Structure 1
Amino acid sequence: MNEQRPEASTPGVGRLEPHMSLPWVLADRLARDPAGVIFERKSSLGTEFVPVSVQTFAEEVTAVAKGLIGLGVEVGDRVAIMAHTSYEWSLLDFAAWSAGAVPVPIYETSSAEQAEWIVSNSGARVVFAETRGMAAMLQPMVERLEHLERVLVLDENAIETVIGHGADVPADRVTERSEAADMSSLATIIYTSGTTGRPKGVELTHGNFVSLVVNGSDDPNFSGVVRGPDKRTLLFMPIAHVFARFVQILCVYSGATMGHVPDAKNLVADLDAFKPTFLLAVPRVFEKVYNSADAKAGSGAKQRIFRWGAKVAITYSRALESDGGPSAALKAQRTLADRLVYGKIRSAMGGNLDWAISGGGPLGERLGHFFRGIGVGVLEGYGLTEVGAPTTVNRPGLTKIGTVGPPYPGTRVAIAEDGQVLVKGDHVFRGYHDNPEATAQAFTEDGWFVTGDLGQLDSDGYLRITGRKKEIIVTAGGKNVAPAVLEDRLRGHPLVSQVVVVGDGRPFIGALVTLDEDMLPGWLANHDLPAMNVEQAATDERVLAALDRAVTRANEAVSRAESIRKINVLTTDFTMENGYLTPSQKVKRAKVLADFEREINDIYGT
């Protein structure tokens, strides 16, 4: 590593050629395995999943692409999609690429103002809306925006309507447009979550995605997770998010089978029906799995058995990293715990899950060790929209829990003098749409993308994220505090939904805490406390005492000057619906600080 700028890199392992594109990814899968299963569609009744062959999907993509051409969509035109995760989302994505268009995702939770900014800024000509309600929000934009021509509703047979417009369009037109796309062609414009202001449109090329999926699938350390017809994943994160979008493309290239469900509301039943071998999720999902298992254990002997099992799992996982490995006694304890505890948890995740890929925020060492200890390896990674999703990731045989892994194949990572993580590689975006000033600010003079995240590289080249530069808190005493460490640890308590650490310019560190309404009844019952709602719990001395103990445990990770001295428990949770969470479950810190200024002042008696 360079002493002035610590750096780590992993060579690319896949063969990349200029003609490759996202239509090429599908064509390559079709040539290799036309009769193989590429998707399984959830039936409208029950939880059954129905297989779709590569040949069938490719024919549907061509039919929809012909329809888009018949509607007048030209090469480079923007086609916006506002929908929950679904088979139709993937179909429209690949059809737009095959027609030479640029699909632009809109989160299904976006407000009218957010959606109009994306449609307006991107210059979309056509918008697909999943529901009539979404369409009602988007339809008035047709009158206001000169470039927007129509809004089509998926729930009202939009796919069939589009296919009908392509009846007279020869398939050769689709082939010509598909083959005209190459690594340098614009693939999509994804708008950032907007935690700090108006979202910026990230322009990602076909090459950005192709380099990631080829290098990932061909990587011998990762191919065992994602490559081949026996690999299966169920997608429930929004495809509008770059993480899910990348995995969608990765599965098409790698030969895996993918299913879609719109959200995580019925996740246990969906996982049981689909039985994935690998899964991607944000850390909050893993926290929920653990906390739900703890709550289901109830109180008394069953709870003691679960917590003993959890401790054994974490101890066993940590021992795997020691020279001697787990002792014979520890192995015996784990065998017993597997029979009593772990099997039930694995069964709740479908029964066949070997690997889980965590991204979108820090997971925390405790959960990483717990899941590995019960037999589900969690591969924590790091990335941003601007790099097409991953830039570092732990992989089988290359894992250090507590880090976000070494550089992904074909990427370079460095640490700037101010501690910011810098990135180079074929996966780095080409710029922000119609925003040359922001693009210029995003890169160093020598071409490194500046992520805005703070991190450290260890001697083996594994990255550890320590915070976000814009979120660093400077107390009145001049102490710099990264809030993420405290927030992540405190959020692991079953009662806690969200945490925002505060204290900028203040005499000490405090925190706003929201309660998990779903977990509250079980926690109260397990602690022999009467039922109460969130408003009552937020002022109950016994609940507050439990939270104080959780704060004490969280403070063990930091110095006294950085520790949380006082919390304010809110009766309002932070959600996407009320505008305090992004679709990737990140808290909109600036909005929280502004809207809860009075509650923050209460912490300091001002």
Structure 2
Amino acid sequence: MRDFSLPPLVETPATGSLADSVHDVAERDPELLQLSRRSSDPGSDEWIPVTASEFRDEVMGLAKGLLAEGIRFGERVAVMSRTRYEWTLFSYALWSIGAQLVPVYPTSSADQVRWILSNAQVVAIVVEHEDHAMTVGAACGGLTLLRSMWQLDSGCVEQLTDRGRYVPDAMVHRHRRAVGPQSVATITYTSGTTGRPRGCVITHANLAVECDTLYAGWKGILAEPGEQPCILAFLPLSHIYGLMVQVACLRGGVRLGHQPDLSPEALLPALASFRPTYVFAVPYIFEKIFHKARRAAEEAGRGELFDKAVDTAVRHAEEVERREKGEGPGPGLKLQVAHAVFDRLVYRRLRAVLGGRVRHATSGGSTLDRELGLFFAGAGITIHDGYGLTETTAAVTSQPPGHPRFGTVGRPLPGCAVHIAQDGEIWVRGDVVFAGYHDDPVATESVLRDGWLATGDVGRLDEGYLVITGRKKDIIITSGGKSVSPQILEGRLRRHPLISQCLVVGDDRPFIAALITLDLEASKHWYQLRGKQLAYPQQATIDKEIHAEIQRAVTIANSAVSRAESIRAFRILPNEFSMDDGLMTPSLKLRRGAIVKAYAADIEELYSS
């Protein structure tokens, strides 16, 4: 199968803009609990409700302030901040006056900020705190169009709102009504795993169709019957995935909360107090939750019980999947009994980590490991893996409700089509596909072909379900001419609780090798189980027992590929890759080129030895 498509569920808007939904919802149901703000009191778990009418009034007040500050229709304003309430407030205020949003990752360097502000011709920028202000200050030399900078932590929302108190509401409405579906909503820059990031021109229609399609097709699983759906946004809103979640919530009347810190120490308590009904995340988050649950079980002396629970969950989910495909009767009585026992002993504890109400979730950014997807489904949380790019306004495929196939990224969204080119490249089409790259017609022409977007990813279709097998630019070709997709090996290695990240290398080399980083908490736990102590993080990189354990993980991973594709050598690195050192994107993907450059000496030693 090379082509698959589904008919649309929603119509492309003929009029209006994203900002209209704020007014429509407030008029239809002014007391609807639309958002929840985290209390400003340190250590507080309180969430302060914000009704639809209250949010509309805040958006209007800020929009008038932006007009008073001289922001005009069609001008571009950047937002450089972590995920927080004010980010959402600014985006809708900007859309209300016909301005264009330019997200900037909060971890961006001065050079990256300079490029984005210059390329997008930004006239003003919102920053979160003093550090961001200093980064912009270091970048603004030669940026003649940049005339304003506002800082969230210095009270800029209140200041702008006060500045606009004499601007009539009618002026905002005139601007808002002049915005059409094909107007530019945002220029969102790609994560830049390779080369300089490009600005993707996303229209109001792109985001509206994406979010309305997902809400129409998946609203039945957002919450249990009778509950208002609520979602905690913790992915970067500067990434199209996070931005899509924000817009979908506000268009669908889903209660939205914000969590700026992605570390487990901050995220898990926020999930517990907010108690979402649905979760949008990336595979990395689900991997961390799984490994943390395993460590907790081992520390309580229940490691063997946890492993049996994992096996039971996977087998139960496999049998359910086979039944859905018409290949079996479903879980047998013995398996059902074991599953019910482990639900009381193990699975409900895992669900409690996410607040206790989540039964369905979405994973995006990269492919979720099949075994992990089966485990979570068996534990009572079905993860709907999806696939998309900045260029497709986030998801272009997703697991259909009630019919997931783990190990795939689902079928095309209704209204979208997938085509597999002769070389295996995935092409997609639909109203979610972007308008092109900003100020880069050559790059635009290289990916848009007669209505199709050439994604650069490689895959295949299995009864309409898309399987990602790699990325064209990531394919490794050894000196012997063997083509190797690193995805399978890297995914299998990350299953091991000690391994945090893995990068497979081998271009123009005689064999495949790997750079591996360790999870610090898992390493401490590993030592504790053996009656030892991890004195310093680098200790684990030279520990012979750790090396032997990682070698076993490598051997298991190699069993999935041919000998020519197998890892022959590996190096354990002293530190994890991170966004701070520029080796990970904000969507937690590895920047392969940057890592290879940063660890060139380690790679040379791998092959010279």
* TM-score > 0.5 by shorter chain: yes
Which amino acid is the alignment partner of residue 84 of structure 2?
Answer: S
Return the alpha-carbon distance in structure 1 between the equivalents of residues 314 and 16 of structure 2: 44
Could you tell me the TM-score, scaled by structure 2's length? 0.96
Which amino acid is the alignment partner of residue 340 of structure 1?
Answer: L
> What are the equivalent positions in structure 2 for 1:199-598 lying under 5 Å apart?
199-219=197-217, 221-225=218-222, 230-265=228-263, 266-298=266-298, 301-322=301-322, 323-444=328-449, 446-458=450-462, 460-598=463-601
Q: Deviations over 1:531-569 (max 9, x none)?
A: 343322111111011101111121222222211121111
Range that drifts further, 313-322 or 49-58 = 313-322
> What are the equivalent positions in structure 2 for 1:12-161 lying under 5 Å apart?
12-45=8-41, 46-139=44-137, 141=139, 144-161=142-159
* Cα distance change, pair 300–347 in 1 and its aligned pair in 2 (3 A): closer
8 Å CA contact 1:191, 1:199 repeated in 2: yes
Return the alpha-carbon distance in structure 2 between the equivalents of residues 411 and 126 of structure 1: 36
Return the alpha-carbon distance in structure 1 between the equivalents of residues 575 and 420 of structure 2: 38
Which amino acid is the alignment partner of residue 349 of structure 1?
Answer: L
Return the alpha-carbon distance in structure 2 between the equivalents of residues 229 and 277 of structure 1: 8
SS at match of 2:192: coil
Which amino acid is the alignment partner of residue 86 of structure 1?
Answer: R
Q: Deviations over 1:300-322 (max 9, x none)?
A: 85110111111111111111122
Return the alpha-carbon distance in structure 1 between the equivalents of residues 227 and 120 of structure 2: 37
Return the alpha-carbon distance in structure 2 between the equivalents of residues 315 and 558 of structure 1: 24
8 Å CA contact 2:512, 2:567 repeated in 1: yes
Please report how far the alpha carbon of residue 528 of structure 1 lies from its aligned counterpart in structure 2 after TM superposition. Answer: 4.0
8 Å CA contact 1:295, 1:526 repeated in 2: no
Return the alpha-carbon distance in structure 1 between the equivalents of residues 72 and 319 of structure 2: 58
The residue number in structure 1 matching 2:6 is 10
Q: Deviations over 1:211-252 (max 9, x none)?
A: 111122122x55432799611111111100110100110011
8 Å CA contact 2:282, 2:363 repeated in 1: yes
Please report how far the alpha carbon of residue 142 of structure 1 lies from its aligned counterpart in structure 2 after TM superposition. Answer: 5.1
Q: Deviations over 1:499-522 (max 9, x none)?
A: 110111212111011111222101
Q: Deviations over 1:107-149 (max 9, x none)?
A: 1111111111111111111111110121122135555311000
Q: Deviations over 1:235-282 (max 9, x none)?
A: 111100110100110011111111001122311211111100101111
SS at match of 2:102: strand
Gap regions ≥5 residues in structure 2: 323-327
RMSD: 1.5
Return the alpha-carbon distance in structure 1 between the equivalents of residues 414 and 354 of structure 2: 29
8 Å CA contact 1:85, 1:238 repeated in 2: yes
8 Å CA contact 2:499, 2:518 repeated in 1: yes
8 Å CA contact 1:275, 1:350 repeated in 2: yes
Q: Deviations over 1:39-90 (max 9, x none)?
A: 0101012011111000000111111111111111111100110111011000
Return the alpha-carbon distance in structure 2 between the equivalents of residues 87 and 132 of structure 1: 18
Q: Deviations over 1:370-397 (max 9, x none)?
A: 1001001101000000111000001322
SS at match of 2:74: coil
Q: Deviations over 1:179-204 (max 9, x none)?
A: 11111100000111111111111110
Return the alpha-carbon distance in structure 2 between the equivalents of residues 417 and 222 of structure 1: 36
SS at match of 2:395: coil
Please report how far the alpha carbon of residue 173 of structure 1 lies from its aligned counterpart in structure 2 after TM superposition. Answer: 1.1
The residue number in structure 1 matching 2:325 is none
Range that drifts further, 83-92 or 227-236 = 227-236
Q: Deviations over 1:13-56 (max 9, x none)?
A: 11333103201232332233221011010101201111100000
Return the alpha-carbon distance in structure 2 between the equivalents of residues 285 and 140 of structure 1: 33
Return the alpha-carbon distance in structure 2 between the equivalents of residues 272 and 438 of structure 1: 44
* Cα distance change, pair 396–578 in 1 and its aligned pair in 2 (3 A): same
Return the alpha-carbon distance in structure 1 between the equivalents of residues 555 and 203 of structure 2: 47
Return the alpha-carbon distance in structure 2 between the equivalents of residues 328 and 529 of structure 1: 43
SS at match of 1:62: helix
Please report how far the alpha carbon of residue 493 of structure 1 lies from its aligned counterpart in structure 2 after TM superposition. Answer: 1.3
Please report how far the alpha carbon of residue 351 of structure 1 lies from its aligned counterpart in structure 2 after TM superposition. Answer: 0.7
The residue number in structure 2 matching 1:163 is 161
Return the alpha-carbon distance in structure 1 between the equivalents of residues 98 and 32 of structure 2: 26
Range that drifts further, 526-535 or 301-310 = 526-535
The residue number in structure 2 matching 1:602 is 605
Gap regions ≥5 residues in structure 1: none
Length, aligned pairs only? 599
Range that drifts further, 295-304 or 501-510 = 295-304
Q: Percent identity?
A: 41
Which amino acid is the alignment partner of residue 520 of structure 1?
Answer: S
